[in-house]
Amino acid sequence: MDELADMYDAEKRIVKALPKMAKAATCADLKAAFLSHLKETEGHVTKLEQVFHAFDEKARGKTCEATVGLLKEGDEIAADFKGSPAINAALVSAAQKVEHYEMASYGCLHEWAGLLDNEDAAEILESILQEEKDANDGLTDLALATCNQQALEGSDETESDNTDEKPAKEQSGARPSGPNRKRSAVLAK
């Protein structure tokens, strides 16, 4: 019940965050993906209420500190990359961190509901888990199809426009992906 309360809070927070992420995105397909997942996430809140009911419990939330942190990071990314060619790639990265947390949580909840012989709850949780996996796959597809390449191309243009300037300082943890391949400081930020 504690983990269920955690995810109930998480989903409610994500419902509030997705419109902000959609607004920050400059890629029409990414905006549409965020808004589509918003509708699913609203459904997740309702489904979690059904899971509570399946356990004869009242739906309640417990502050999900992990989601609070991930969404705060998403807000910072949106602010840091505003106007940058890397904004969409950065938003995909932030959103996928949330999706991966949700997939891990729903995977556990699904298993636990099964161990408790609550087939109704297990079925509902499995459906949420699949929607989270599908959302993550969609984000990966967008990143590979457009967002990452646009970020790279935009950073190359920025680098060539600023040939007299010193290169931007890379953040700690950023590593070039190969000796002959440029890695944008914008992407590494």
pTM of the shown model:
0.79
User: 74-106 burial, b for 16+ CB within 10 Å, e for fewer?
Assistant: beebbeebeebbbbbbbbbbbbbbbbebbbebb
CA angle 171, 175, 181 (to 5 degrees): 120
Q: Residue 151's pLDDT band (boundaries 50, 70, 90)?
A: confident
Cα dihedral angle (141, 142, 147, 149), rounded to 10 degrees?
Answer: 40
What's the pLDDT at 185?
39
User: At residue 105, does pLDDT exceed 90?
Assistant: yes
pLDDT tens digits, one per residue of 66-86: 999 999 998 998 898 888 889
Q: Residue 177's pLDDT band (boundaries 50, 70, 90)?
A: very low
pLDDT tens digits, one per residue of 2-40: 999 999 999 999 999 999 999 999 999 999 999 999 999
CA-nearest of 118, 111, 134, 114 to 44 is 134
What's the pLDDT at 83?
85
Taking the C-alpha atoms of residue 75 and residue 73, their distance in angstroms, rounded to an integer, is 5
Taking the C-alpha atoms of residue 176 and residue 183, their distance in angstroms, rounded to an integer, is 5
Helices (H), the chain: 2-24, 28-54, 65-80, 87-115, 119-142, 148-161, 185-188
In the block, residue with structure tokens 């502050």: 63
What's the pLDDT at 155?
60
Fold of 2-160+182-188: Ferritin (1.20.1260)
